[in-house]
Chain A
Amino acid sequence: MSVRMPEPDQALLARRDEIVRALRAIVPGEGVIATERGMRPYETDGLTAYRQLPLAVVLPETTAQVAAILRYCYAETIPVVPRGAGTSLSGGALPLADGVLLGMAKFNRIRDIDFANRVAVVEPGVTNLAVSKAVEHAGFYYAPDPSSQIACTIGGNVAENSGGVHCLKYGMTSNNVLGCEMVLMTGEVVRLGGKHLDAGGYDLIGVVGGSEGLLGVVTEVTVRILKKPETARAVLVGFPSSEDAGACVARIIGAGIIPAGMEMMDRPAIHATEAFVHADYPLDVEALLIVELDGPQAEVDHLIATVSEIARGCGAMNLRVSTSEAERLLFWAGRKAAFPAVGRISPDYLCMDGTIPRAKLPLVLARMKDMSAKYGLRVANVFHAGDGNLHPLILYDANEPGELARAEAFGADILKLCVEVGGVLTGEHGVGIEKRDLMPVMFSEVDLAHQQRLKCAFDDKGLLNPGKVFPVLNRCAELGRMHVSGGNLPFPDIPRF
């Protein structure tokens, strides 16, 4: 394990009993967990290579309790790690030995469904899928659909700005959130946005989205809900090479079509998923593309025809158009089960999450093949082809000495490559601890300092989720200082008006 967490504060560890007592005074009964056995389920998240028991687990039920916990921890300088369902793939919810783990699972009520304004107001512990379930009787749904949607929470989605296969057309979480209630580390409660559009001042909901639990604890979220499209159909296309598949994606978009989803899998991913779910995927192809079109029947039929024609022109080896809802779901079954399918053919895997400009796909896949040979580890690729978000799954065995370290080095090389070709380190899973030390690959010190100044405005003591996102967390006092020297006008002024 190559990522090092901040050294725990021995003084805090020594005060554990006292801290637990103080938390119990705020959240009575079973809301505070301090036994090793009770805390085990919280020791890791979706990045299972890293484990750490927290100082204590607290499960508040009200905003007032969250505020009291944070106020206490702020006064006593105790770190706090917020947690939703713990499905983060980047280690965002990994506990700290000297920190309180703040589990938000009991915030699980839907507070308001407002069809006239097309919003739902939910507590952060409500699962992603539960929002859609709560409004489906009226034909509505919540658009962002991470594959983990049965389990992951809206609070976690906001913190990670999560996406899903449909975010190509409908946007990520941030594009679908209108308001929230949030508790700052000091215990102050702020309300941002509401059922209206845009902010009256700085777009703080915008920065809370994707802030990975470092700015505040979200206690309520207002999300947009949409009417379900009349119909949806998918095309399943096999290609002899990923270049052909990539060219097809570019041409579809070049033709002015933004599909509801456009996903690609490479040969290893196709074979792993086919063996697992028997979705009847072709096994003689190098790349498989699923293109979904949704909307009114007339539009979908029209676009399916156009997409099919483009695909044939790009050298498609075989092409199937779903003729029923059952068939459409079968096309997706393999893709949606890609992670567990790969889990079946390898004891462990690391899921990477870089984004690249789409045109660089063939280059990136070729370089990845070389790296796979170099590290002696297999890799399977699933790819949100429409928006360039790659999910290389690196297969390894944690029981083989050195394999995890090799897998991590392989992953780091892939992400550096993504940045090198004009992309980014993470498209939807977050930086967490996993990509923390790679941040300087993408950002200069000045870039990171500006991000941290935002952090300082929300959390001046750096107590919320420390050790995540930033390789080095500078002190706010240092970041705030500014040395200036008086001077002359830097260049001649040119009168213009």
Chain B
Amino acid sequence: MTVLSPRNPDEVEQAVLWAAGAGKALEVIGRGTKRSLGRPAQWDATLDLSALTGVTLYEPDELVLSAKAGTPLAEIEALCAANGQELAFEPMDYGPLLGVAAGRGTIGGALAVNASGPRRIKAGAARDHLLGLTAVSGRGETFKTGGRVVKNVTGYDLCKLMAGSWGTLAAMTEVTVKTLPRAETEASVVLAGLAATVAGDAMAAAMGSAYDVSGAAHLPGSVAGRISADLGGRSVTVLRLEGVGPSVVHRRDGLCALLRPFGTASVIEESLSRPLWRAVRDSLPFAAGGPSGERVLWRLSTAPSGGAGLVERIGRAVDAEFMQDWAGGLVWVAVAPTQDGGTAAVRATIAACGGHATLVRAPAALRAAVAVFEPQTGNLTALTKRIKDGFDPKGVLNPGRMWAGI
């Protein structure tokens, strides 16, 4: 297939104009780590943005960083870390789930899929940290939105529209994000052996406290054992505390006391806590190369208090493994690769419980046969289509990747 590798934003514009004129559909990629996520649509050429690289501005005192969209995320994270900062939305790396090496994604890709991590519950997702961008819409026109300052309500917030649009509206060429101080230290409080419903209550109690919890996950025993042998056997409910030393100590003790009704909590220190949360972030227990690598993988977002019920309901219907993050509201479901990969059970459950589900990993045939992204219903279908038509009237950019006709 034809691969267009523009070296600068002008060439991105030319490539899109060519496609629009020639009636071609482009697959838009950074370094392609998430290529297998989405409907397997038919594209005529690939628009590869990975040559647009480089950090163009980084002012740690101003908490702001700009980079060309194809800049490797790992490079940006290393630069921030060297300055005691980080991208607080903790973007997950889809690579290991999709059979791609870890640490290969680009900043543009992370933003386009509205990536986030365990800290989503406290610090937000990519959408909350994207301050400004330049992009080429499907009309072949370069536009900018937002700016480089945190507080900005000038015009529509198109940054939010771009975050999570999976390259279906515009190809971002340069982005500006907020950077934040990296926590001095962290520790995690762990409760062992809780059933999912009880774990939900424990996480709600922790989140409803003043202890500023920045991660709340529940891992069944079989899943926990894949992260660390020390954790194996029984389920673990893990709560992360980040901040300055004295504060973490104080909150750790307070949280252990608060959670006494749920059992005696133990504490994991920083050196073990960091890798544990990274594994939760990237959903490593379900990595492509691991014991569940053949399973079909779903990512569901629901109200936290409904997470346990949702797990139970799907578990009754199909052979599935689970992991919950976001205080119970983010549910990873790994389903045995039967015919529909759990589609009917997942969709019916989300319809009943509220929220949305994305089919993260499945054979192409299944992704072609069932909805990968949450199906649009009612008035939202037409509204989504009108937005697509406004930005990409010829259907040049990733057409069909999210939904047919978009």
Spell out A's residues near B (CB within 8 Å). Answer: 114-118, 139-140, 160-161, 163, 167, 171-172, 174-175, 184, 188-190, 192, 194-204, 206-207, 209-211, 227-230, 250-251, 253-254, 256-258, 295-299, 302-303, 355-359, 384, 387-389, 422-431, 435, 439, 442-444, 446-451, 453-458, 469, 479-480, 482, 484-491, 493-497
Contacts and interface: CB of A to CB of B under 8 A. Distances in A.
User: Which 4 pairs of residues, A with B, have the shortest CB-CB distance?
Assistant: A206-B160, A200-B356, A200-B374, A299-B247
Contacts of B264: none
Contacts of B329: 196-197
A107 B48 CA distance: 49
B326 A197 contact: yes
30 contacts: A115-B204, A116-B204, A117-B303, A171-B128, A175-B124, A190-B379, A192-B380, A200-B358, A200-B374, A203-B161, A206-B163, A256-B84, A256-B184, A258-B181, A296-B210, A388-B62, A388-B150, A424-B147, A427-B152, A428-B151, A431-B153, A431-B155, A442-B155, A450-B145, A455-B156, A457-B383, A457-B390, A487-B21, A489-B18, A496-B48
B153 A430 contact: yes
B209 to A, nearest CB: 6
Given A302-B244, A427-B152, A495-B3, 18 more contacts: A118-B304, A194-B354, A195-B303, A200-B357, A201-B376, A201-B380, A203-B161, A254-B60, A256-B181, A256-B184, A299-B244, A357-B59, A424-B152, A427-B149, A428-B153, A453-B391, A469-B155, A493-B45
Given A196-B301, A198-B301, A442 B156 contact: no
B116 A359 contact: no
Contacts, number: 316
A496 B5 contact: yes
B42 interface: no
B4 interface: yes
B386 A497 contact: no
Interface of B: 2-6, 11, 14-15, 17-18, 20-23, 32, 45, 48, 50, 59-64, 84-85, 114, 116, 120-121, 124-125, 127-128, 137, 139-145, 147-161, 163-165, 169, 180-182, 184, 204, 207-212, 243-244, 246-247, 249-251, 254, 301-305, 326, 329-330, 354-358, 373-374, 376, 378-380, 383-384, 386-387, 389-391, 393-394, 402-403
Nearest to A497: B3
A46 B129 CA distance: 30
Contacts of B141: 446, 449-450
Contacts of B376: 201
A144 B63 CA distance: 21
A230 B85 CA distance: 26
Nearest to B357: A200
B3 to A, nearest CB: 5
Nearest to A251: B61
A170 B182 CA distance: 16
Contacts of B48: 496
Contacts of A456: 386, 390
Contact of B379 (A184, A295, A359, A496): A184
A199 B304 CA distance: 15
B154 A202 contact: no
Given A115-B208, A446-B142, A480-B393, A190 B383 contact: yes
A388 B74 CA distance: 29
A295 B160 contact: no
Contacts of B127: 198, 203, 206
Q: Which among A167, A199, A356, A469 has the highest number of chain B CB atoms within 10 Å?
A: A199
A116 B3 contact: no
B276 to A, nearest CB: 21
Q: Which secondary structure characterizes the binding site on chain A?
A: loop
Contacts of B150: 355, 387-388
B143 A447 contact: yes
A490 B14 contact: yes
B47 to A, nearest CB: 11
A156 to B, nearest CB: 13
A116 B328 CA distance: 11
A203 B247 contact: no
Nearest to B304: A117
Nearest to A386: B150
Given A167-B151, A358-B61, A198 B20 contact: no
A488 B127 CA distance: 36
B154 A201 contact: no
Contact of A256 (B50, B155, B182, B212): B182
Contacts of A258: 180-181
Contacts of A254: 60-61
A36 to B, nearest CB: 34
Contacts of A190: 378-380, 383
Given A118-B208, A456-B386, A207 B378 contact: no
Contacts of B254: 296
A457 to B, nearest CB: 4
A422 B56 CA distance: 14
Contacts of A195: 303-304, 354
A138 to B, nearest CB: 8
Given A482-B20, A496-B48, A356 B157 contact: no
Given A302-B247, A389-B151, A202 B387 contact: yes
A455 B386 CA distance: 10
Contact of B154 (A171, A431, A485): A431
Contacts of B45: 493
Nearest to A476: B390
